[in-house]
A and B are shown apart, each in its own frame.
Chain A
Amino acid sequence: MVGGKKEWFGKALIAQLPALRRYARALTGNAALADDLVQDCVERALRQWEGLRDLQRVGSWLRSILHNLYIDELRRSRTRGHEEEVTELADDLALSTPPRDGTVGIDFVRAMASLSVEHRQVLLLVGLENKNYRDVADELGIPIGTVMSRLARGRERLRSALEGEWPAQVRPLEAREMRQ
């Protein structure tokens, strides 16, 4: 039984790889880093697969692992005192955006890179992975109201970054966050 389940898990894992890689690229804005994260994610998933309770939720489970690995990587980068230039990350992915999007695509990728990981994550789960708010809340383990506020704030900041400014209504929110 265990062997059959593991084999099923292996097939499900392979089927999820393209979407996982796409999500990783969008989250990090860097194709090489995304592939490293997916590789690490695969290794960890193969070690911890028995912790996956609902096999139907393998996609969200993998994204959670990947997200944790990404946070670890960001922490390590800070500890090492080495931060990659946001523009380098943006160029990396932006250069491979469809030609029809041209410089708009590059600006968009850079604007996405300027957001916090939490905001990017919610924007991508709703906008790219087409998840509803309830599923996003379940996947992230946060209340649905938090999903909605992160989404609203993330989109607002993305728009502001695209317009080259932070609107007045965003700043007080940031100040409140700082105080909390």
Chain B
Amino acid sequence: MNQRMEIREEELHALIDGELDAVERARVQAIVDGNTYLRERASLYREDKARLVSIYGGGMSEPLPRAWIEQIEAASKLQRWRAQSWGIAALAASFVLVFSGLFAWREFSPPPMHADVVADALAARSGDIHPDTVIPASATTEVTDEARVMTAALDARVKAPDLTRLGYRLIDINEYSGAARAFELRYAAPDGQVFTLYLRRSSGTPRFDQFKQNGLRVCIWQDDIVAMVMSGKMSAALMQRVASLAYTNLTL
């Protein structure tokens, strides 16, 4: 019998992985100890197994993208709010009986809309919120009317970034008023897709994040002055290039 065939390959790996019972372990170990080829193979497989951990095992303490955590927390809290709202509804119904319908109505008032810049940007992109004004793109590359409007509204010297170097052409600018004034700059990408850059005053906390949602790549780039949320159907690498160009071309 060929020395290599004294045990099955599966048994050799079960020995390496500690999957054999005491009797089988002793039997297989004795065969391996007495067979130079098997002993060397076992040693190499053990090295490979250890290397798997040393190469791929790191990164557990790396910070996670904030968008992932926010998405999970938002989904969990939304569900909790929905569940709690049933209890609140029952309690408020008894108040209705005792006091007045008006008081109960106040109790039931829904919480304010989540004011996250990403949610607002995606709502603008999807058309869930409508712009107050649409500013057509200027033909000139000098300081244009839209730059003046944006600078005044955001209290920051900003303009529509020129992204033509990467083939992106500004189509128009949607202006939103409300709690926070904001602008959505719409660009035509070389492949005909629309790339949007949502711009508003920063909350003050620097932030950079990138993620994909429903096939849409989203990048948040916020310093202490302005917040930009860029979105488009594109690769992560292209988004990084476009986002870098946008940020460096944003200021007047």
State the A residues within 8 Å of B (CB): 1-4, 6-7, 9-11, 13-14, 17-19, 21-22, 25-26, 32, 35-36, 38-40, 42-43, 46, 97-98, 100-101, 104-105, 108-109, 123-124, 126-128, 132-133, 145, 148-149, 151-153, 155-156, 158-159, 162
Contact = CB atoms under 8 A, between A and B. Distances in A.
B212 A22 contact: no
Contacts of A153: 9
Given A124-B56, A155-B13, A36 B76 contact: no
B237 A18 contact: no
A45 B237 CA distance: 26
B139 interface: no
A123 B62 CA distance: 23
Contacts of B72: 10, 13-14, 42, 46
Contact of A159 (B48, B53, B77): B48
Contacts of B58: 22, 98
Contacts of B59: 18, 21-22, 25
B82 interface: yes
Give chain B's interface secondary structure class. helix
B228 to A, nearest CB: 20
Give chain A's interface secondary structure class. helix
A84 to B, nearest CB: 11
Nearest to B63: A18
Contacts of A3: 79-84
Given A25-B56, A133-B17, A2 B83 contact: yes
B100 interface: no
B178 interface: no
Nearest to A145: B10
A35 B218 CA distance: 13
B48 A128 contact: no
Contacts of B57: 22, 128
Interface residues of B, number: 48
Interface of B: 8-10, 12-14, 17, 19, 41, 44-45, 48-49, 51-62, 64-65, 67-69, 71-73, 75-77, 79-84, 211-214, 236-237
Contact of A36 (B61, B83, B236): B236
A61 to B, nearest CB: 15
Contacts of A109: 55
B52 A14 contact: no
A35 B9 CA distance: 35
Contact of B68 (A17, A26, A155): A17
A121 to B, nearest CB: 13
14 contacts: A3-B84, A6-B83, A14-B68, A17-B69, A19-B60, A21-B59, A36-B212, A101-B51, A101-B54, A108-B55, A133-B14, A133-B19, A155-B48, A159-B41
Nearest to A123: B52
B19 A158 contact: no
Given A43-B214, A109-B55, A127-B52, 14 more contacts: A7-B77, A10-B75, A18-B61, A22-B56, A36-B212, A36-B236, A101-B55, A105-B51, A127-B49, A133-B14, A151-B10, A156-B9, A159-B45, A159-B48
Q: Which among A2, A17, A151 has the greatest number of chain B C-beta atoms within 10 A? A: A151
Nearest to A10: B76
A36 B216 CA distance: 11
